[in-house]
Amino acid sequence: MLFINIIVPVFVIVFCGFLLERYGRIELEPLTTSSLYLFAPALTLSALLRHPLQSQLLGDVLFYMLAYLVIMLVLSASVGRLLGCDGDSRRALSLSSSMMNIGNFGLPLTWFAFGEAGVPIAIVVFVIFSLPLGSLAIIIAQGEGANWRTAIVNSLKIPIFHAAALAMLLQAFSIQLPPMVLRPLELMGQAAVPLMLVLLGMQISRTRWQWLGGFMLAGIGLRLIAGPAVGWGLCQLLHIRGLERDVLLLQTSTPAAVLPLLYALRFNTRPDLVASTIVTTTLCSAGSLTLLLYLLPKLP
């Protein structure tokens, strides 16, 4: 029932996006811009206003993120060397195994799995993990000579950070938005969930897939097996429990993120490897995430 009630609805919407792009010839850029600058910030702001942020949650997610990224980057670099990959291929493996799809895939999945109660936690994870997704991913793709300062500044321009900052500011001064403002925000925020999945399907439709042997198996193993194992270990180490742990584990066990593919294309960092890993891990995640959802209530 977990597969039918949670995983299947996610992939149905992704498939609708796939068909829309394949046969409708819809422009992707206007929808992506609308999601990035309107619907996702509205979801962030409205959800955080309904469920105020807790400093403990912010601290837990921040420490988790730092440790998770370091471990996954070390693992991917080590596996890349064991496979005898060249520099570009190792960077492609790092991009596709350490950067997960917390936005287009993770947020809607959390909504289906845990309902509205899990959304504020998922948004905190989304906001905090978007920093390395928008900066570290660029640096990895660029390789030598990467500009750290520019990458970090550019990532801070992502609108969801501004929405999160505004929510914290309003909470700090106990300011409540009137219904005429809050209701439109909530409606636009609800639109963000299906739109993210539709965009994922459209992006997959544009991706050229090929089977790449050992690299692909390494990417699947790192993203869908090692990733959840590392996440569970960190939750145990940091004493993260309950719904917070379940949301963290679920979001950081999602398939490879799509955004790093744009950086791989921009800097020619084996985009063929990154693109194929995104498609393969997305399809395989139907099984791995079903298993994870089954195990979550049984984990200590």
When pLDDT is cut at 50, 70 and 90, the band that residue 88 belongs to is: confident
Q: What is the pLDDT of residues 95-149, one digit of tens each?
A: 999 999 998 899 999 999 999 889 889 988 988 888 787 778 888 887 766 667 7
The answer to whether residue 120 is domain-embedded is yes
Instruction: Output the pLDDT for position 145.
Output: 62
Residue 78 belongs to a domain = yes
User: In CATH, what number is assigned to the domain containing residue 109?
Assistant: 1.20.1530
129 part of a folded domain: yes
Q: Is residue 299 part of a domain?
A: no
Q: Is residue 17 assigned to a domain?
A: no
List the structure tokens of 80.
Answer: 């890349």
Total count of residues recorded for the chain: 300
- The three-class DSSP label of residue 261 is helix
pLDDT of 146: 60
Q: How many CA atoms lie within 13 A of 80 on its CB side?
A: 21
Give per-residue burial for 215-244: e unless 16+ CB within 10 Å, then b. Answer: bbebbbebbbebbbebbbebbeebebeeeb
Structural domain boundaries enclosing 255: 28-197+209-289
Amino acid at the residue 32: T
β-partners of residue 100 are 256
Query: Averaged over 4-18, what is the pLDDT?
Result: 94
Judge whether 81 lies within some domain: yes
208: exposed, middle or buried (C-beta count within 10 Å: 0-12, 13-18, 19+)?
A: exposed
pTM for the full predicted model: 0.88
φ, ψ of residue 168 to 5 degrees: the values are -65, -35
Cα 290 to Cα 2: distance, rounded to the nearest angstrom: 6
Return the H-helix or E-strand segment holding 13.
Answer: helix 8-24
Of 136-150, 209-223, 231-245, the least confident: 136-150
What does 195-257 look like in DSSP terms, one character per residue?
HHHHHHHHHHHTPPP---HHHHHHHHIIIIIIHHHHHHHHHHHTT--HHHHHHHHHHTTS-B-
Report residue 169: phi and psi, to 5°.
-65, -45
Which of 6, 44, 52, 53 shows the shortest CA–CA distance to 190? 44
**For the chain, what is the domain count?**
1
Task: Give me the percent of the chain exceeding a pLDDT of 70.
Answer: 97
Those residues with Cβ within 8 angstroms of residue 34's Cβ, 6 or more apart along the chain or in another chain: 195
Structural domain includes residue 5? no
* pLDDT for the residue numbered 212: 74
* pLDDT tens readout for residues 22-55: 998 788 888 888 998 899 999 999 988 888 777 7
Residue 38, exposed/middle/buried by CB under 10 A (0-12, 13-18, 19+)?
A: middle
Residue 20 counted as domain residue: no
Q: Which H or E run includes 178? A: none
